[in-house]
Structure 1
Amino acid sequence: MDELWTLAEGVEAAVREVGAKLAAGRPVEPTPERTAEEAMARFAELDGPAAAELRERLSALRPQAGWVPEELDGSVPAEGEWWVCDATDGAVQYLLGQPHWAVTATLVRDGAAVLAVVHAPELFGAGRTYRAVLGGGAQLDGRPIAPLERELATTVAATSQPPLVAADPVALRRAGESLSAMAGAVLAVRNLGPTALQVAQVGSGHLALFWEYGQDAGNLLPGALIAGEAGAAVTDAAGAAWTASSDSFLAAAPGLHADAVGVLRAVS
């Protein structure tokens, strides 16, 4: 565990440096591109160098770990040690000139996260940094964190969808049904940008719960480790153990988890 915490310090330094450069280059106004192709080309100009630098720095820290390319199918290898990273998690917000984006780096061992850093360079002005190691707890800006307990009716819940959810009609339908069910049970439902950051915020009490339908391991793994190490309950939507191959996800404060599962039980 001490080895992982030492590694986490180096990983945090890397993501902070990459995040600072991205923040300096972020457009102040929304990018004017009109089509998806134009927007992706513009994003690649900014994200490409950042992703290359992040890979170089993390590979130097852990040369025996492989590198999972940034792909949209959400899958990760089931065996071996791998870096799963996103230099600009929250590309949509980044291109719109909004602060809700992050740099994420996760070390995955045999399909499970053992180290995660989620750094949001512009959140709350000065930026916020979550980190966790398996069995070692979770921190926000160097301080231990824990979820906050509230009644379900007074909570703010968050949700999102995997990048390719439109190609998964079952997940797409469940996303709609669950949104209607949850909106009637909580104070408010929001989508606040990067999935990893939102799940991590469950661990620090900034959000009460987060749920999602569809496979999205690459985005969920860092936040899941942080939230779980902070003390949140991390499962699938039915309350069973969550793994990288699960087709749904739920993270909630322990006292809210059973109620949240009850709400999502209405989703077929």
Structure 2
Amino acid sequence: MPLATNTPTTDQLLLPVAIRAVHAAGARLLQRFGHAAPLATFDDVVTAIHANDAASLDSLRDALRAARPGAGWVEDELEGGALPMGEWWITDPVEGNINHVHGQFDWGVTATLIRDNVPVLTVAHVPLEGRTYTALRGGGAFVDGVRLRPSAKTELRSAMVATGQARPGESSETHRRIGRSVTAMLGTALVVRVTVPATFQLAMVAGGRMDAFWQHSNVRSGLVSGALLVQEAGGVVSDLHGRPWGLDSEDFLATAPGLHDEAVRTLSVVP
């Protein structure tokens, strides 16, 4: 794919288009919320999740492809790793789909434009809260037009932190590392949450309502939106060893600036 020619100004013009697309998808999901058939089996859950994805993608894909006809489209939201150079839309049509189908409130829709493997624009919408998070690379992060800032905490013993599964069916090795990392943080942080979806935990880190989030995974769709929100808010994003994070990183850490070093010391030694 050829490199896209673009500027911060054209990205800014694209942002309201992406917002409308994500809002339209969110409206469809609101209509479906609370009306799913009772879930009794694994197949029931999978069927409900796929139906949600299809309903959201019907409008989301068409609108975003029309806005950037030259951009690629990532079909598999559970994929990880770097992409070919150029522009790509990475979306999660129902971020927190498992919550939606169980009648829980923490779910939404995300769309992120990647350019040469760097997130440059993102929209994350939470329909039940009526909140929309946005960020442009170099332009700050906002929720409903109000600038986001991370917390001012400087020690983990005062911090609320979180992690969670990136996807079902992780390897036993990943399960073991998640468990050991939670144990390490339980001995260091004030409160540890284990929850999904990642994007909205990261939005809370960006806005100072939570202090750190980490994940043992490189699933792109769950991290790219929140990574840009945290970075543009003034937080720190890296891998668990403190190295710069990218789409090909094996794990992920986002923190308030004053907590990053201690979080790396705590998590990087987990075997």
The TM tier, using the shorter chain, reads: over 0.9
2:139 is aligned with what amino acid?
G
Say whether 1:145 aligns with 2:120: no
For structure 1, which runs of at least 5 residues remain unmatched after alignment? none
Q: Which moved more, 1:69-78 or 1:227-236?
A: 69-78
User: What's the offset of the Cα at 1:31?
Assistant: 4.9
Aligned match of 2:117: 111
Matches within 5 A, 1:244-255: 244-255=247-258
1:49-68 Cα offsets, whole Å, 9 max, x none, are 21121000111111111110
Q: For 1:133 and 1:91, how far apart are their aligned partners in 2?
A: 25
Aligned match of 1:188: 191
Aligned match of 1:19: 26
- 8 Å CA contact 2:198–2:226 kept in 1: the answer is yes
Q: For 1:206 and 1:78, how far apart are their aligned partners in 2?
A: 35
Q: Which moved more, 1:92-101 or 1:16-25?
A: 16-25
User: What's the offset of the Cα at 1:161?
Assistant: 1.9
1:129-154 Cα offsets, whole Å, 9 max, x none, are 11111111111111111101223112
The alpha-carbon distance between structure 1 residues 27 and 74, as it changes in their structure 2 partners (threshold 3 A), is farther
TM-score, length basis structure 2? 0.92
Matches within 5 A, 1:16-95: 16-27=23-34, 31-95=37-101
User: What's the offset of the Cα at 1:47?
Assistant: 2.4
Q: SS in structure 2 opposite 1:15?
A: helix
User: What's the offset of the Cα at 1:192?
Assistant: 4.1
Matches within 5 A, 1:225-240: 225-240=228-243
Task: State the aligned residue count.
Answer: 263
2:115 is aligned with what amino acid?
R
- 8 Å CA contact 2:90–2:112 kept in 1: the answer is yes
Q: Which runs of 4 or more aligned residues in structure 1 lie more than 3 Å from their structure 2 counterparts after TM superposition?
A: none
Q: For 1:203 and 1:78, how far apart are their aligned partners in 2?
A: 28
Aligned match of 2:17: 10
1:213-268 Cα offsets, whole Å, 9 max, x none, are 12222211110011001100000011010011111110000001111111113302
Percent of counterpart pairs with the same letter?
38
Q: CA RMSD in A?
A: 1.6
